[in-house]
Amino acid sequence: MKLLKYVLVICFVFISAVGRADEGMWLPQLLAKLNESHMKSLGMKISASDIYSVNKGSLKDAIVSFGGFCTGEVISDKGLVLTNHHCGFGSIQDHSTLDHNYIRDGFWAKNHGEEIPNPGLFVTFIVRIEDVSNKVLAGVKDEMSENERQSQIDKNIAAIRKGVKKEDYQDSFIRGFFEGNQYFMFVTETYRDVRLVGAPPSAIGNFGKDTDNWIWPRHTGDFSMFRIYAGKDNKPAAYSPDNVPYVPKRSLAISMDGVKEGDFTMVFGFPGRTMEYLHSAAVDQTVRVNDPTKIAIRDKALAVIDGYMRKDEQIKIQYASKYAGISNAWKKWQGEVLGLTKTNAVAKKQAYEAEFQKRVNANAALKSKYGDLLQQLELAYKELEPLGLQRDYFNEVFSKIELFSISSQLNQAMNAQGKDNYETILKRTQDRLKGIYEEYNAEVDRKLFAALMEVFYQGLQDYKLPDSFTKLLKDAGGDFNKMAENIYAATTMDEEQKTLGALETDAKTRLEQHKTDVAANLFSDLLTYFSTTVSGQLNEAQDKINRLQRDYMKAQMEVFREKTFYPDANSTMRVTYGKAMSYEPRDAVKYEIYTYLDGVMEKYKPGDYEFDVPEKLRELYAKKDYGKYGANGKMPVCFIARNHTTGGNSGSPALDAYGNLIGLNFDRAWEGTMSDINYDPSICRNIMVDIRYILFIVDKYAGAGHLVKEMKLISKKK
């Protein structure tokens, strides 16, 4: 019986590997060659050249990388950009005060003059994509070390970029694909004058907050609007009040028709990172070690911050973005473990590897190259496991304690003393410290220190930690709260005036004081411990895995020639497509594709941090005053489909079969967050806010109908 079950797993894995519908993050310039016929079989009505073209305006010319961390799309001929509320949240937060709380109340510019500049924010268009693999890999030899290999590649890339044909205002970058077996160059245009136009209150834009994050059914109006400004020649320009709204090569038309079960959908954007071709040992470590460790650490951090945010409005503003960032991955990892376990991901990987090994062994040429490759990968991951565990503890704990962030900035200035670039680094340190202190509360940070240092110690007590750490703990009688009190009482880094203020008046004296600061010395000792005990071995182990994984990726493409491979996400432009589909996450549970405003009211809890509903929205619901945006007497809010997305796809447009905008991607269903490692169409769904709900909020709720008038609304229904 066990043998039969194993054979069935192999068959399932292999059939699904050959042609799994709805899976993949595809390079747009290759759609005509690899995907167009399949896309049309699913219902697409446009051509691949309508999606990507360098000879005419195409859909890709309406898609932007928003800030380098999200996606956005141009939805008017005046440079109006739509993205998620959580993508624009940093800008919304920057402009929020207790008197003008745009997080709580929302913001809507009545005209161009009221649109708010955002220093540092940018959007990037892709002009064209070129295969430069042969040029990048010229002179690269198999016997090279990883450092030698990368040095040669970097040298080649620099030469290619220097000689690229482009306009003076354009730029380029080159990225590796398929674990460095292939390389593409992206020619880009970046606009740095991007202004906030509108955002709903967080009770709409972040409705459900952390409870609903990664969850379907969902009822979040997760959107915000910005505008691109350019010089009078329509080219990129630094911020100036004389700049004018950008006129795009292409903007998206907006469909008022919605979708139904089985309709074709497509998502266009800049997905961040996936790892679809990992060895089973890597997936096993993710489920068994790495994710549980990071989840436990963030449990502690979130509990501390949440306790303060619920009591203090100022702390809520200061820590809102930080809390959301910590919570986002925390919940995602929980869903990832659930999904990988539920879909037997490790067993499926092992079955896939068994078929790989069988084919390799049957071919003398393949066996000579790849005969022991899987065994080497398994051994390499065994070496990595304890090092990866320590890395996760250090990364997760250090990044949550702002006292360590402050110390890190001061260290950079201190180490630059006497060097030619000292003044530049000092100024940069001051600027970064200003940003840290704006979102800093010493009491919250002290509690975080106590909670996280305790979990840090418990997780790594089998390893020899620095003497300074154990002495500070011993002096506090083993009490981590007392340890934190002692350290924060002795340091001055928790006081802005004694740190940033002193740095601006007498930097030399302040940096000299830093050398004897107890918190700074603890941070330094912990960093030294990590760099001398962990970092070197970790880098060696990771280099070995990188080399083996590159060979494994190449080998899979040689061994499974009947399969069409797509490259893992790496923050470059991709297209993913599928159908709007309901799903069954658990026994006797079926999730339909749509949610409605009715569900918002069902979740409504007056005054609640997560589920309060603005009075005006309740009034519109009571009157069923949906205008032209409702459907069959109801107001659609969100919908789901089988599009393969990940982080970075936040803000991506959801398009219909004709390339019209139908929604805004903002999340994935919790059960399917493991799609970064193991896509399974039975439970993997992306979540989108319906464009009609967005327009309803803009027009009927916010009274910003002038923005809707900029857009092209269409309907193909008769």
| DSSP collapsed to 3 states, 450-476 | HHHHHHHHHHHCCCCCCHHHHHHHHHC
Host domain of residue 287: 280-558
pLDDT of amino acid 443: 97
Distance CA 284, CA 376 (A): 16
Say yes or no: 154 and 264 in one domain. no
Counting as low any pLDDT under 50, the low residues of the chain are: 1-19, 718
Q: What is the pLDDT of residues 161-209, one digit of tens each?
A: 999 999 999 999 999 999 999 999 999 999 999 999 999 999 999 999 9
pLDDT of amino acid 16: 40
The last residue of one of the domains, among 534, 558, 582, is 558
- What predicted TM-score, i.e. pTM, was given to this entire model? 0.87
Is residue 360 a part of any domain in this protein?
A: yes
pLDDT of amino acid 20: 53
Is residue 669 a part of any domain in this protein?
A: no
The last residue of one of the domains, among 525, 558, 591, is 558
pLDDT of amino acid 553: 97
Of 300, 242, 289, nearest in space to 113 by CA: 242
Say yes or no: 543 and 645 in one domain. no
pLDDT of amino acid 627: 96
Distance CA 92, CA 83 (A): 13
Q: What is the pLDDT of residues 543-586, one digit of tens each?
A: 999 999 999 999 999 999 999 999 999 999 999 999 999 999 88
Say yes or no: 102 and 161 in one domain. no
The partner residues of 182 in beta bridges, in order of sequence, read 177
pLDDT of amino acid 1: 37
Instruction: Confirm whether 598 is a catalytic residue.
Output: no
Six token digits for residue 315: 């702390």
Say yes or no: 289 and 382 in one domain. yes
- The active-site residue out of 22, 58, 86, 263 is 86
Is residue 16 a part of any domain in this protein?
A: no
Is residue 9 a part of any domain in this protein?
A: no
The total of structural domains in the chain comes to 3
Say yes or no: 238 and 364 in one domain. no
- The active-site residue out of 251, 650, 652, 675 is 650
- The active-site residue out of 222, 263, 551, 680 is 222
Is residue 670 a part of any domain in this protein?
A: no
Distance CA 368, CA 443 (A): 62
Say yes or no: 382 and 456 in one domain. yes
Six token digits for residue 220: 């979040």
The last residue of one of the domains, among 508, 527, 558, is 558
Distance linking the first and last C-alpha atoms of the chain? 56
Say yes or no: 428 and 539 in one domain. yes
Say yes or no: 388 and 491 in one domain. yes
Say yes or no: 390 and 241 in one domain. no
pLDDT of amino acid 635: 98
Instruction: Confirm whether 16 is a catalytic residue.
Output: no
Say yes or no: 446 and 503 in one domain. yes
Is residue 18 a part of any domain in this protein?
A: no
Is residue 51 a part of any domain in this protein?
A: yes
Instruction: Confirm whether 650 is a catalytic residue.
Output: yes
Say yes or no: 624 and 648 in one domain. yes
pLDDT of amino acid 59: 98
Is residue 2 a part of any domain in this protein?
A: no
Six token digits for residue 35: 């995907």
How many CA atoms lie less than 13 Å away from 643 in the CB half-sphere? Answer: 37
Burial class (CB in 10 A: 0-12, 13-18, 19+), 55: exposed
Instruction: Give the CATH number of the domain where residue 90 resides.
Output: 2.40.10.120
Burial readout 520-529 (b: 16 or more C-beta within 10 A, e: otherwise): bbbbbbbbeb
pLDDT of amino acid 507: 87
Say yes or no: 601 and 529 in one domain. no
